[in-house]
Amino acid sequence: MKQGIRLKIKQLLILAAAMLLVSSCVSMKKVRYLQDSADYLKDNKIEFKNESSPYYKVQPGDNLYVDVSSLDSKNMNPFESNQRVSYQNNSEMSVYLNSYMVSDSGYINFPVVGKIQVAGLTVTEVKDKVQATVNEFYQLTTVTVKLVNFKISLLGEVVRPGTYMVYQESINILQAISMAGDLAPYGDRSNIMIIRKSEDGSLVYTVNLRKANILESPAYYLQPDDIVYVEPLKSKNYAFTAFPYAVIFSTITTTLLIINFFK
């Protein structure tokens, strides 16, 4: 009889352990990125054509930090301001306050040279255009242009949610997720929303990071003020709230006491 009771107790312990293991794990199928990439493999490489340009085009309402320096400092008085000092102090607010806002018509109003059309250009193209314009007035100059307002927000099931500044001309969604420490284990990689401002309001893209065709999505490259929201898997609610952990642990404890009693 004791042998039969011990057998049932062992079976109960195994069942409890199995239930704990199943409830606390997320299958690899729900975690891996670009799972179907092998379907696109050809000659040991995969090539996708991006639907949107990887380089952000300046739009009305953007803020550009523009700095002009020269070997001949006497000729630079019209361009001198507190911009360079503030920028070196790494103060984002100072850089913002000393930046130039792109008007509704797509211009920035730059000292001496006047209005410069910049809307629709990449930051590099804006730099080249400002450089060429300044060269008409002064020689031996160097122009630096930075996009001040390029920030993105990551919310939901990411390791470190928050707002992040981007100090480069382009960033894709995979790079953005890596900035936030990757997705949390219970993040739904198949249903990620990207909220993007538009001329008429907001656009919402839904992307699936488990599919390789994300590389062709118009939302693959992020834009300033994009919001990335990662939904939780439905199993998260079951694993952390619905699953009766207290009952299981209580059962295991009681079982151990019974085993000790029979010993």
pLDDT digits (tens, 9 = 90+) for 226-235: 999 999 988 6
Task: Identify the burial level of 9 via C-beta atoms within 10 angstroms of its C-beta, where 0-12 means exposed, 13-18 middle and 19 or more buried.
Answer: middle
What stretch of H or E contains 177? helix 173-179
CATH homologous superfamily, domain 29-52+150-232: Outer membrane lipoprotein wza domain like (3.10.560.10)
Tens of pLDDT, residues 138-196? 888 889 999 998 999 999 999 999 999 998 888 999 999 999 999 998 899 999 999 99
Contacts of 200 (CB under 8 A, 6+ apart): none
**Position 53, amino acid:** S
- Domains of the chain by residue range: 2-23+244-262, 29-52+150-232, 63-147
Measured distance CA(250)–CA(254) in Å, rounded: 6
Please name the CATH architecture into which domain 63-147 falls: 2-Layer Sandwich (3.30)
Listed residue (174, 169, 165, 228) closest to 196, CA to CA: 228
- Residue 55, helix vs strand vs coil: coil
pTM, 2 dp:
0.70
- Per-residue pLDDT tens, the chain, 263 aa: give them: 555 555 555 555 555 555 554 445 556 566 677 776 666 666 677 777 777 788 899 999 999 999 888 776 665 556 655 444 444 455 677 777 788 999 999 999 988 888 999 999 999 999 999 999 988 888 888 899 999 989 999 999 999 999 999 988 889 999 999 999 999 988 999 999 999 988 788 999 999 998 888 888 889 999 999 999 999 988 655 554 445 556 656 666 666 666 665 55
